[in-house]
Amino acid sequence: MFKGLRRDIETIRARDPAARSALEVVLLYPGFQVLLFYRLAHWAWQRKWHLAGRWISQFGRWLTGIEIHPGAHIGKRLFIDHGMGVVIGETARIGDNVTIYHGVTLGGVAPSIDSDQQRNVKRHPTLEDDVIVGSGAQILGPITVGRSARVGANAVVTKPVPACSTVVGIPGRVVAPGGQREQLPFVAYGTPTGDIPDPIARALEGLLGEVQSLRARVNTLEGELEARPAIVPSPTGAKDDLGRKDNPKT
């Protein structure tokens, strides 16, 4: 148990430069404190002491502002930064080295079955190892966020996220495809601060390029028409190029 506590403290100090000492983490970091309540509540939940587990988790929510259902499965070195408003549902699964910021919801969707069967159905997302979820993001349903993926702030994700990719927007869209896991640095709040490629912007740029190409083609055709000699009607009775004579109107 003490080994796990030490590991959690070291994790927070490694990812948050504002953490200056282990004592500060223990006393002032709700993301660390809520894990203590979660582990105790999860221990009770696994032994079918459901009411006790919910009571412990509710007490932890009251103290920290972070709600973790005792039925959720959480791996090692989870860091909940700031933490206020985080909600983690009953069937959620979180891997190792995951970072979650404030206002995040790992929410469930109700399957189309009766309420008694819903308890045994996975309704909440799975976050694999090394995932970063930015503040305010909503990840909903029994989907999987792949290893080392980044979910940007305020994104709403309802579809699976490929490993090592970055997802932003409402609804969530992949703006940075998966790459090598070793090449992905830690990204605070899950949102790159450089240029973020927007798929909608790319589509608009493609349409603009097509319009410009068509405009250039129209200008070329208009220039060719202006360069042609004007067609002048032949005088009455004159012969055309084929030797035919015009028939004047009477």
What pLDDT does 146 receive? 92
- % residues pLDDT > 70 (the chain): 76
Dihedral angle sign, alpha carbons of residues 160, 162, 163, 168 = negative
The region that residue 83 occupies, defined by phi over 0 for left and psi between -120 and 50 for alpha, beta otherwise, is left
39 domain residue, yes or no: yes
What pLDDT does 5 receive? 82
What pLDDT does 247 receive? 55
Distance from C-alpha of 5 to C-alpha of 15, rounded to nearest angstrom:
16
218 and 113 inside one domain: no
52 domain residue, yes or no: yes
One DSSP character per residue, 123-151 reads -S-EE-TT-EE-TT-EEESS-EE-TT-EE
95 and 155 inside one domain: yes
247 domain residue, yes or no: no
Question: Regarding predicted confidence, which is higher, 73 or 121?
Answer: 73
58 and 113 inside one domain: yes
* pLDDT, mean over the chain: 82
88 domain residue, yes or no: yes
250 domain residue, yes or no: no
What pLDDT does 236 receive? 61
143 and 89 inside one domain: yes
111 and 157 inside one domain: yes
- For the stretch 137-153, pLDDT in tens is 999 999 999 999 999 99
Dihedral angle sign, alpha carbons of residues 9, 94, 88, 131 = positive
207 and 102 inside one domain: no
What pLDDT does 207 receive? 81
219 and 125 inside one domain: no
Classify each residue of 192-226 as buried b or exposed e, where b means 16 or more C-beta atoms within 10 Å of its C-beta: beeeeeeeeeeeeeeeeeeeeeeeeeeeeeeeeee
Confidence band, pLDDT 50/70/90 cuts, at residue 8: confident
78 and 147 inside one domain: yes
Global pTM value: 0.70
> Could you tell me the two tokens for 173?
């869209």
- For the stretch 157-206, pLDDT in tens is 999 999 988 898 888 888 877 665 555 566 666 666 555 555 666 677 77
Q: Which residue has the tokens 């030797």?
A: 243
158 and 218 inside one domain: no
135 and 219 inside one domain: no
Q: Is 42 helix (H, G, I), strand (E, B) or coil?
A: helix
Q: Which residue has the tokens 């360069």?
A: 227
Q: Any alpha helices (H) in the chain, and if so which ranges?
A: 2-15, 22-28, 30-46, 50-64, 115-118, 199-227
Residue type, 170: I
- For the stretch 11-62, pLDDT in tens is 888 888 888 898 998 999 999 999 999 999 999 999 999 999 999 999 999 9
Question: Regarding predicted confidence, which is higher, 90 or 228?
Answer: 90
The domain tally of the chain equals 2
What pLDDT does 175 receive? 83
The CA distances from residue 246 to 153, 223, 230, 237, in Å, are: 80, 32, 19, 5
130 and 20 inside one domain: yes
122 domain residue, yes or no: yes
Cis peptide before 171 (omega within 30 of 0): yes
> Running DSSP on this structure, what letter comes out for residue 230?
P
- For the stretch 200-235, pLDDT in tens is 666 777 788 888 888 888 888 877 777 777 666 666
Question: Regarding predicted confidence, which is higher, 126 or 207?
Answer: 126
Region 104-125 average pLDDT: 77
Least confident of 112-116, 142-146, 164-168, 239-243: 239-243
Query: Which domain CATH number covers 76?
Result: 2.160.10.10
Q: Are 68 and 40 in contact (CB under 8 A)?
A: no
Q: Are 93 and 72 in contact (CB under 8 A)?
A: yes
Confidence band, pLDDT 50/70/90 cuts, at residue 93: very high
144 domain residue, yes or no: yes
The residue segments making up the domain with residue 102 are 2-194
142 and 171 inside one domain: yes
